[in-house]
Amino acid sequence: MRVLSWAQFDQAVAQLAARFADAELTGVYGVPRGGLCLAVALSHAMERPLLSVPNRSALIVDDVYETGRTLKAVHDQVPQASFAVWVSKGTPDWWTAALVADSSEWVVFPWENVERARADEQAYRASRGL
pLDDT tens-place string over residues 10-50: 999 999 999 999 999 999 999 998 999 999 999 999 999 99
Would you say residue 130 has pLDDT above 80? no
Work out the pLDDT band at 111, boundaries 50, 70, 90. Answer: very high
CATH number at residue 89: 3.40.50.2020
Q: Is the dihedral of CA 48, 49, 50, 55 positive or negative?
A: negative
Handedness of CA 11, 18, 89, 120 (dihedral sign): positive
- How many domains does the structure of the chain reveal? 1
Rounded to 5°, angle at Cα 10 from 49 and 110: 100
Q: Who has greater pLDDT, 74 or 123?
A: 74
Domain that holds residue 57: 2-127
Are 125 and 1 in contact by the 8 Å Cβ rule? The answer is: no
pLDDT (average), residues 91-103: 95
pLDDT of residue 83: 98
Cα–Cα distance measured from residue 20 to residue 96, given in angstroms and rounded to the nearest whole number: 10
Quick check: 64 pLDDT over 90? yes
